[in-house]
Amino acid sequence: MARLIPARRGSSLAGYRRRRASANPSAMIDLHLTLKSAHIVSGMAAVLLGPLPLLSRKGSWTHRMSGRLFVLAGAVALSCAALAVLLYPHPVPLMAATLLTAYQFIGGLRALPRFGARLGLFDAGLALSAAGLGALLVPIMSRGSASWPPAVGWTMLGWLTMVVTYDLSRHLWAATWRHGWRPLDHGLKLTGAYFGMASAGAGNGLHALQPWSQLAPSVLGTLVMALLAVNYVRRRRLVRSAAVPLPVPPHDPDTALG
């Protein structure tokens, strides 16, 4: 049975992890291997499933079922990534990417009608928590790697700041958001989370093609999100214009008599 070594006062967390690893190295390796394997398998499943809800007709059976499978796979992948970041040393830019993807993933689910689609304290707390965690990464962002340079981390934090600012502003126009912009919120955030997973997977799996293997999914995701937003606004305007009755011209007796 493994002997647990308590953390001494003033000792670093990294030192405590090293002592635990030396006490029972097989357990630490097994946990790391388990998290890594589950993360890779579920992440690949999420990347393969993601295009189905993205391209299928919204509200259809295909959209709902493939979306649920994507959410399940994505939740496992992000949970494993978060645990690995907490338990093992990782480049700080990768931690920023994980934070951004997880925040968009949860935010996209919160915009679903089944969660009430009403903004409350949970949403505000979630946004503030993400902002706080992002702020903790600022002083240590230089701790990057060749695969995850600090420039990537700063980009992730910039995008996170923009999303958090938007989310906090929604409380000022909650009724308008709920009745008009909630579906777009749901679609854009889950699309961003999907391409975040694709970017991380391509960057980690295709080392020889870096940095393009990491940048290409991010650029493509930004373009897709822009197209989705433009298409949603265009369709919304068409629906609103079709719902407005045409003005009836005033009756002119002379014209009626010909």
Burial degree of 87 (CB within 10 A; 0-12, 13-18, 19+)? middle
2: in domain: no
252: in domain: no
Cβ-Cβ contacts under 8 Å for 134 (sequence gap 6 or more): 96, 99, 157, 160, 161, 164
Reported pTM: 0.79
* pLDDT at 204 (0 to 100): 75
Provide the domain count of the chain: 2
* pLDDT at 215 (0 to 100): 82
Same domain for 230 and 106?
yes
48: in domain: yes
Residue 207's alpha-carbon distances to 21, 200, 203, 221, in angstroms, are 28, 11, 6, 20
Same domain for 44 and 111?
no
Same domain for 48 and 97?
no
231: in domain: yes
Same domain for 58 and 69?
yes
249: in domain: no
pLDDT in single tens digits along all 258 residues of the chain: 444 444 444 445 445 455 555 555 555 568 888 898 999 999 999 999 999 999 998 889 999 999 999 999 999 999 999 999 888 888 899 899 999 999 999 999 998 877 655 678 889 999 999 999 999 999 999 988 877 889 889 999 999 999 999 999 998 998 888 888 889 999 999 999 999 999 888 877 777 777 777 788 888 999 999 999 999 989 888 877 776 554 544 544 443 434
Residue 60 structural domain: 15-89
